Chain A
Amino acid sequence: MRNSVSLHKLLPVLVLVLALLVPLVVENSYGRHLFIIAFIYAIVASNWDLSLGYAGIFNFGHIAFFGIGVYGTGLAAKFLGVDPWLAMVLGGVAASIAGAVVALPVLRLKGIYVILVTFAFSQLVLQVVLSQSDVTGGTQGLVRIPTISAFGYNFLRDYRLGYYYVALALLVLSTLFLRRLVASDFGMSLRALRDNEDYALARGIPAGLQRLKVLIASAFFTGVAGGFYAVYLRVASPEVFGFSTVSLVLSMVLVGGIATIYGPIVAAVLLTLTTEGLAHFAGMNESRFMLVAALMLAILLFLPKGLASLLTKRAPRKPAAESGGTPAAAGARR
């Protein structure tokens, strides 16, 4: 037991060291570009895992937070002349505000209506972006967004080395934030609400407040990731709100394993590298998405806890003990 615990603590550090060394092996700018995009998706997917997996909120508007980060940063940097670094933070703040706004109806609704209203919310954001075409560029997208620089260093130099490390740093920050959050009392109260709402309420956990907080929290780094996406690619396109992006990121959460944080990160990197790699074969542009969809269905049917469940020993299922224990533990602490 003791051995496996220390391994669990060591593994993320090992992976981080490997990630820091990747640019030594991957020297061309396209390979690094894939990793940068993968890290961005990893932030989006793992933050979605916080609200969907840990808090159990049927939030299907998470991609809207990403889109708001993309456009918030893009517009602030391009038209208000805000420094792109600061604009990225603004993108995160804008996404968090959106998280608070979407929480309003979500707190009052249950089940399917939460799914529908969050979906509708992301469509509302998309429609606003499309209708304000003189500012946002409409379907053409927002182009020529100013990019980041530091001490006169141009990030496009050295085959995107700078961008690679900024993306990695954001992912590490976001992951540390998420891990701390889910391990805290707050994180436990979220799981308690998810697993046994009546009992959690009876123990005095304020359901509405916790859900409001978690939506705001999960939106922040998603928005920052969107902001980085905007300043890195220097374009913002309304496609980021589409059903395809939603399904792709959702598949990352599922393939990695829901309520694991690390799972979606690993899945995001693997799926991005493979799907982008497949795009090079002729005629694979559509079928790679079909593969992702098929993979998603296979995971849901045969490995409902995601690939992460392959790592842990195939212990007999004990959902009853788990869901019974968590709320009690959280309740006792409060």
Chain B
Amino acid sequence: MTLHSLNAMLVSGIVLGSFYAIMASGLSLIWTTLGIFNFAHGVFMALGAYVAWTISDAAGLDLWLGIAIAVAVAAVCAVGILTERLFVRPFYGERNMLLITTMTTLAVMMFLEKGIQLFWGPRLKQLRPVVTGDVTVLGVTISAHEAFVVCLAPVLLFGLWGFLRLTRTGRAIRAVGQDAQAARLIGINVPAMFAITFALSAGAAALTGILLGSIRLVTPGLGSEPLIKAFIIVIFGGLGSLGGTIGAAYVIGLLEAFLIVTVGMYWTPSALFLMLILTLLIRPQGLFGKAVH
């Protein structure tokens, strides 16, 4: 293997890992705080991309893409809050909460996916890149948009980490995640923290969708393939910690780039799933994970 192809692999792996990290951090946040897995996360991505497209392209307004992104992220945050309020909160504290919320979020996914198809029609769409041009890193040329994502991901993730560590709200969210009952006793508004968590997570999903929407075609199923990758990531990393999830996102990104070069595009997903099942046989709690209830 030449140095150049090794570099190419490395760069494309980091690009993939950056997308996965932003997306999986949202899933992990909801899991650690509410103890549920949001299957509508993928369709939130698609929704974000469609709303951004409508504002920036279809309306014909020559707005700066940034405004479109801001509005789209805000809209999806609202949908996230609504989803939590209507279809997650009624089941909080029930014995089968995990199973029921899996089903409700799956139903929300199906509803929104078909709704998007109905509303925006079957025509394929593509978003404009946030930054135009190309960048050359390590002798490998990637689009400036991809380079932007690679730089943005650590900033966002570090920001999220700082928010959870340093702010009052962030600490309250972590307290709720550790023990909702005790958090309520010391005066934390638990329902508000759930809403904020869902909003943050949905916002991260929308942002991933928008950023992905100028690389891939925007379809109602834009998020389903990344969601499946996110499954692999959270199983590898263990859902318990944000750090584990983010680490796993980059590992899977690099692994995927490596597999595409070695076993080819077609066999990559199969190889990933097979490795995943083998990993679980040896380490049921994930590679970096601690045993979770």
| Interface set of A (CB-CB < 8 Å, partner B) | 58, 60, 104-105, 108-113, 115-117, 119-121, 123-124, 127-128, 130-131, 243-244, 246-247, 250-251, 254, 283, 286-287, 289-290, 292-294, 296-297, 300-301, 304
Contacts and interface: CB of A to CB of B under 8 A. Distances in A.
Contacts of A128: 270
A247 B114 CA distance: 12
B109 A112 contact: no
Given A105-B281, A296-B103, A117 B235 contact: yes
Nearest to B119: A286
A121 B103 CA distance: 18
Contacts of A121: 273, 277
Contacts of A254: 103
A120 B228 contact: yes
A246 B106 contact: yes
A119 B229 CA distance: 11
B270 to A, nearest CB: 5
A109 B293 CA distance: 10
Interface stretch (B15-23, B57-65, B94-102, B153-161): B94-102
Nearest to B115: A290
B90 A110 contact: no
Interface in B261-293: 266-267, 269-270, 273-274, 276-277, 280-281, 284, 286, 292-293
Given A104-B281, A120-B235, A243-B110, A297 B99 contact: no
Nearest to B281: A105
B118 A287 contact: yes
A62 to B, nearest CB: 13
Contacts of B99: 58, 115
Interface in B158-208: none
A123 B274 CA distance: 11
Given A286-B118, A301-B90, A116 B234 contact: yes
Contact of B110 (A60, A130, A244): A244
Contacts of B90: 301
Interface string B89-132: 01100000011101110111111011101100000000000000
A128 B266 CA distance: 9
Nearest to B116: A286
B270 A124 contact: yes
A115 B37 contact: yes
B98 A300 contact: no
Central interface residue in B118, B270, B274, B292, by most chain A CB within 10 Å: B270
Contacts of A108: 280-281, 284
B269 A124 contact: yes
B111 A293 contact: yes
A290 B114 CA distance: 6
B90 to A, nearest CB: 6
A196 to B, nearest CB: 11
14 contacts: A58-B98, A58-B102, A110-B293, A111-B98, A115-B102, A123-B231, A124-B270, A124-B274, A243-B113, A243-B224, A250-B103, A286-B117, A296-B103, A300-B100
A251 B108 CA distance: 12
A289 B118 CA distance: 11
Contact of B276 (A58, A104, A120, A286): A120
B218 interface: no
B58 to A, nearest CB: 19
B232 interface: yes
**Chain A interface, DSSP helix/strand/loop, else mixed:** helix
Contacts of A117: 235, 276-277, 280
Interface string B3-43: 00000000000000000000000000001000001000000
B239 interface: yes
A297 B107 contact: yes
Contacts of A243: 106, 109-110, 113, 224
Given A123-B269, A301-B90, A289 B280 contact: no
Given A120-B232, A120-B235, A250-B103, A293 B277 contact: no
A247 B103 CA distance: 8
A290 B118 contact: yes
Nearest to A138: B266
B266 A112 contact: no
A36 to B, nearest CB: 24
B87 interface: yes
Contacts of A105: 277, 280-281, 284
Contacts of A292: 110
A112 B276 contact: no
Given A105-B281, A113-B284, A254-B103, A124 B224 contact: no
B115 A111 contact: no
A305 to B, nearest CB: 12
Contacts of A301: 87, 90
A220 to B, nearest CB: 22
Contacts of A124: 269-270, 273-274, 277
Nearest to B220: A286
Contact of A293 (B102, B110, B273): B110
A252 B134 CA distance: 50
Contacts of B267: 131
Contacts of A109: 280, 284
Nearest to B100: A300
Given A120-B273, A130-B266, A294-B107, 17 more contacts: A58-B98, A58-B99, A108-B284, A109-B284, A113-B286, A116-B37, A117-B235, A119-B228, A120-B231, A121-B277, A247-B109, A247-B110, A251-B107, A287-B118, A297-B87, A297-B104, A300-B103
